Every structure is written in C-alpha cells, then in structure tokens.
Structure 1
Amino acid sequence: MSQKTILRATLLALLSITFYPAMADKNKRTIQFGSYTVHYNTLPTDFLSIKIAKQFKIVRSSKRILVNIAVKHNAKDSKTTAVPAKVTVRAHNMTGQLKYADMRAVHDGKAIYYIGEFSVANRERLNFTVTVTPKHKQASTYSFKFKKKFMTQ
C-alpha cells in the first residue's frame, strides 16, 4: 500500500464523522459561518499508525491529542471546495491552564486539513477556542468553542 493511500485512509478516518452538512451540529462536529463550513475533530494520537505519525512528525501517545480542522466554501450550486485559511486553536482546562497548538496545513489532493497537537492528562476537560480566517475572497474571521473530556488510560 502506498504512502498516499495510507495518508488518504487515515485522513478519511479522522474526518469520517465530520463531513456531513449541518448548521451547528455538535454530534457531527461542524459549524456553519455564512457560505463556509468548518469541520473539527479531536482524537488521541496513538490512534494514528506509526507510519503516518512519523510522516507528519506527530508524537503517538494516549496522553496527546490531535486537533483536525478543515474549512470548506459552499458555492450556490451546492459544490463545496476546500479553502486555505489561517487557523488558530487554543484550549484551557478547568484550572485555567492555557494551551496552544501549532497548527499546520496538510494538503491531500484538493483537500486541506489543519492539524495540531495538545498534551492531556487523564480525565482532563479542555475548552477549545478555534479561530478561522479563510484566505478566500474577502472572508471574515470566525470563532467558535467546543469542550471535550479526554480519557488517557
């Protein structure tokens, strides 16, 4: 199996739950901002194969999570296209400790994913703030929040 095939399968698995149209459906992890849809997901990095983690320089661990963001533009003809964007993700836990992810773009054909990592403790609840500025026409900056509790053992 080629690296490209493995990459596509892994990225598809990461976003398999998230690529369904929705307005602000927390279960599907999508949010709509005008003509843009933002898909988001988190998962422990030990879910990634060793090969993929090495290729993208991701530390595999049950105590590290991967944040995955994708930005799509929804055209009037119902077609969606990935758009480049500036993406920032920060999180704070219940004690107020602030964490930042160094988000980087991953290109796979016409798809663009923004990935970053956070360290987490067992039963830690993180409150995420995501800011997205599509680099498409004269788009605005959009922000949204979500929460997630992580089990590392």
Structure 2
Amino acid sequence: MKMSIRHNGLIKRTAAILLMMAGFLGAAFSSSATAEQMVSHGDYMIHYNAFNSSFIQPDVASAYGIQRAKTKGLLNISVLKKQADGSTKPISAIVSGDVTNLISQKQTLNFKKIEESNALYYIGDFGFTDDQVLRFNLQVQPDPNLPAYSINFEQRFYID
C-alpha cells in the first residue's frame, strides 16, 4: 500500500509540474501573449496565463479532474509573496473573475485550488470559439484584510 501511495504522490507532483509548464507554453505560443504575464503589488507577485486545455496531456488532466476539449480554455493563477531574504513563497488567495466575449456574453470563472509541496495555483475553465477574443476580469486577494487586486487582460483563442 505504501508503494501505491508514493507512486500516486509522484504522479501528482509530476502532473502538477507538467500542468504549470503547459500553461506557460500555452501562453508562449498564444498570438497575444506577453513575455511575462505577472503583476506586482507590494510584497505580492500574481502570475496568470490562459491557454487551450488541449495543451495539457490527458494523464495530467485526469490526475486533476480537468476536462480537455478543443473549445475549452484554462486560466492558471499563482500568487507568490516576497520573503525578507529575497525569495518568494506560494500563498493562498481568494480568486474570482469572469471572462467576456466581444458581444458581452459573460462566463463566471470557478477556480479549483491545486496545492503541491512547492506550488499552489488556481485553475479556472471557460469555453471559446475559433478565433475569438476574450476579455478577462480577475480579482485576486492575497490578504483577506485588504482589498482584492484587479487584473484585466484580453487574449485571442484558436481551436487547434
């Protein structure tokens, strides 16, 4: 039984790394992606990227209960807090948002928290059609005692 638990843990850690890499690669190959999608607010760095869910390998998607489809995108958000020694540490946050197309049809994003030993991120899914521009409106609140930070960006998606 211990071997099975260890094996399952290794699969989940590997899947988490592959999921994050897929998100970063998806953003890198997106036509409207910036070099780095990150905002900094005081001691917090908020990284975000949106990509087609088909970039994720089937076994990784299955390990995290993520549905892959040609017309389904994923939004990946992670929050890091700057430490006194200059390093950063992943932290929990309250994350919400929506995505709207150019004719004002809105989808509410429901985020799933994925936590690993050295990583913490939030994944939300949304639908899109081919060659569609979507506007993202996000609220990320690293400290529940302070107001949320707003992040807004626009990205074009294609069916691959």
Q: Is the counterpart of residue 143 in structure 1 residue 150 in structure 2? A: yes
- Kept in 1: contact 2:19–2:56 (CA 8 A): no
Higher relative contact order, chain-length normalized (CA < 8 Å, sep 6+): 2
Aligned AA for 2:95?
Answer: V
* Per-residue deviation, 1:75: 2.2
Corresponding residue for 2:47?
A: 39
Corresponding residue for 1:90?
A: 98
The correspondence of residues 1-153 of structure 1 with structure 2, limited to 5 A, is: 2-14=10-22, 16=24, 26-135=34-143, 138-153=145-160
Structure number with bigger Rg: 2
Distance 2:19 2:146 in 1: 26
Q: Which has the higher helix share?
A: 2
- Kept in 2: contact 1:83–1:135 (CA 8 A): no
Runs of 4+ in 1 over 3 A off after TM superposition: 14-17
Corresponding residue for 1:21?
A: none
* Per-residue deviation, 1:6: 2.6
TM-score for both structures, normalised by structure 2: 0.82
- Kept in 2: contact 1:14–1:41 (CA 8 A): no
* Per-residue deviation, 1:5: 4.4
- Kept in 1: contact 2:73–2:126 (CA 8 A): yes
* Per-residue deviation, 1:76: 3.4
Q: Root-mean-square deviation (CA), in Å? A: 2.0
Aligned CA distance change for structure 1 residues 36 and 107 (closer, same or farther; 3 Å): same
- Kept in 1: contact 2:22–2:56 (CA 8 A): no
SS class of match (2:98)? strand
SS class of match (1:3)? helix
Q: Where do 5+ consecutive residues of structure 1 fail to align?
A: 18-25
Deviations 1:8-39 (A, max 9, x none): 4313414547xxxxxxxx42001111110000
- Kept in 1: contact 2:70–2:159 (CA 8 A): yes
Q: Where do 5+ consecutive residues of structure 2 fail to align?
A: 1-6, 26-33
* Per-residue deviation, 1:146: 0.6
Aligned AA for 1:62?
Answer: K
* Per-residue deviation, 1:49: 1.1
Aligned AA for 2:65?
Answer: K
- Kept in 2: contact 1:69–1:115 (CA 8 A): yes
Report sequence identity in percent: 24
